[in-house]
Amino acid sequence: MTNRIALGLAALIVLAMLADLLLTGGHTLFFLSRKITDLVYYLQFWR
């Protein structure tokens, strides 16, 4: 992955986060963070 692609992906992620904060007040980010935490706990079971 080149630096140009990495910067483009980072900018896209930041824009998506800003759009979520403006449109839904960050509810989607909170929901996704809870689901990722649940996934980590589920994967710890299989360790």
Cα–Cα dist 38/43, whole Å? 9
| Per-residue confidence band for 20, with pLDDT thresholds at 50, 70 and 90 | very high
At 45 the pLDDT is 79
Model confidence pLDDT, tens digit, residues 22-33: 999 999 999 999
At 7 the pLDDT is 97
Is the overall model pTM greater than 0.95, yes or no?
no
Cα–Cα dist 36/41, whole Å? 9
Q: Stretch 36-47: mean pLDDT, rounded?
A: 89
Overall domain count for the chain: 1
Task: Tell me which DSSP letter residue 2 carries.
Answer: -
Provide the percentage of residues in the chain whose pLDDT is more than 90. 87
Residue type, 29: L
Q: In this structure, are residues 34 and 46 in contact, taking their beta carbons and an 8 Å threshold?
A: no
